[in-house]
Amino acid sequence: MTKFVALLDRAVLEVTGPDAGEFLQGLITNDLEKIKEKGSLFAALLTPQGKINYEFFIVPTENGYFLEMAKGGLDELYKKFSLYKLRANVDISNLSETHMVFWLAENCELVTPEAVLYPDPRSSELGQRAIVSVDHMTDFCDGLEACSPDDYLAARLTIGIPEGGHDYALGNTFPHEACYDLIDGVDFSKGCYVGQEVVSRMQHRSTVRKRIVCVKSEEELPESGAEIRTETSLIGVLGSRLGKDGLALVRLDRAGKALNIGDKINADGILVTLTIPSWASYDFV
């Protein structure tokens, strides 16, 4: 029986209208055309300085697109889209009161009214997600096995997939630092979008100093936000954590230097080991 859990910190916007596709394509980091093949898309709206302001999954619907995102930023993104809309024939709706987001640990075939299932575009190992009308939640949940939000977190930590607001600060992190270039969150051949010049420059100049790494300890890790340090310097910040496992955004050069000389690395005084996610192409330097 497939395990599932409601992701209560997620919410949904809907973008509809004749110009919905063109409107989104001109703003987001990824190429909306990919959605035809993949069924879903991971993307972000950046600041003019090229940093991640809002990140979301995009899912096609009959009349446009669902955007699944962190609930805390939904109202702000709604206002931002309303400003960008100008004369575009687009309608933007806040569905936070009428729809919920679920995670399913495995891919499965469900036929449920008012439920949209889609693969997690960041990794095939992260199962499926679903946007479900609250009026049809009972039908959707029937035949599924409820699990804990920690099950979703554990799956994400095992693979090493980061999320904004948990593993890096929204508004202060470049897409490359959040590994968008490796988990298909950015397209380097599409047309212009907000912040594109900075992203393109980082891609071609290989100037990425910070990256996401996996953190493991022999004892329970401290709370998220704890400093990751060597004996002499600050190298990063702990993000998501569950028991002895976590993720962190670190300076690869400083971590590499510590590893080369045998300098101990700690999170708020607790000794930790840092490793690179298996899907990543970078390394400690």
Residues 213 and 131 occupy one common structural domain: no
Domain-located, residue 190 = no
Distance, in Å, from the CA atom of 221 to the CA atom of 223, rounded to the nearest integer, reads 7
Which of 160, 157, 162 shows the shortest CA–CA distance to 245?
A: 157
Domain-located, residue 72 = yes
Number of domains in the chain: 2
For position 113, what pLDDT does the model report? Answer: 64
Close Cβ partners of 104 (under 8 Å, ≥ 6 residues apart): 2, 3, 4, 117, 127, 128, 129, 130, 144
For position 31, what pLDDT does the model report? Answer: 98
Residues 126 and 236 occupy one common structural domain: no
Domain-located, residue 170 = no
For position 185, what pLDDT does the model report? Answer: 98
Q: What is the CATH number of the domain that holds 73?
A: 3.30.1360.120
Among 130, 159, 188, identify where a domain stops: 159
For position 2, what pLDDT does the model report? Answer: 87
Residues 56 and 155 occupy one common structural domain: yes
* Average pLDDT per block of 10 residues along the chain, 285 residues long: 93 98 97 95 97 98 96 95 92 96 84 81 95 90 91 97 98 97 96 93 88 98 98 96 98 96 96 98 93
Q: List, in sequence order, every residue forming a beta bridge with 42; answer none if it has no partner.
A: 57
Residues 37 and 146 occupy one common structural domain: yes
For position 212, what pLDDT does the model report? Answer: 98
Helix (H) or strand (E) holding 140: helix 137-141
Residues 142 and 222 occupy one common structural domain: no
Domain-located, residue 281 = no
Angle among Cα 74, 79, 82 to the nearest 5 degrees reads 125
Q: What is the CATH number of the domain that holds 246?
A: 2.40.30
pTM score over 0.85: yes
Domain-located, residue 244 = yes
Q: Please classify residue 8 by burial: count the beta carbons closer than 10 Å to its beta carbon, then call 0-12 exposed, 13-18 middle and 19+ buried.
A: exposed
Distance, in Å, from the CA atom of 99 to the CA atom of 58, rounded to the nearest integer, reads 15
Distance, in Å, from the CA atom of 199 to the CA atom of 108, rounded to the nearest integer, reads 36
Close Cβ partners of 93 (under 8 Å, ≥ 6 residues apart): 13, 14, 16
Residue 265's domain spans which residues?
Answer: 209-275
8 A C-beta contact, residue 180 and residue 29: yes
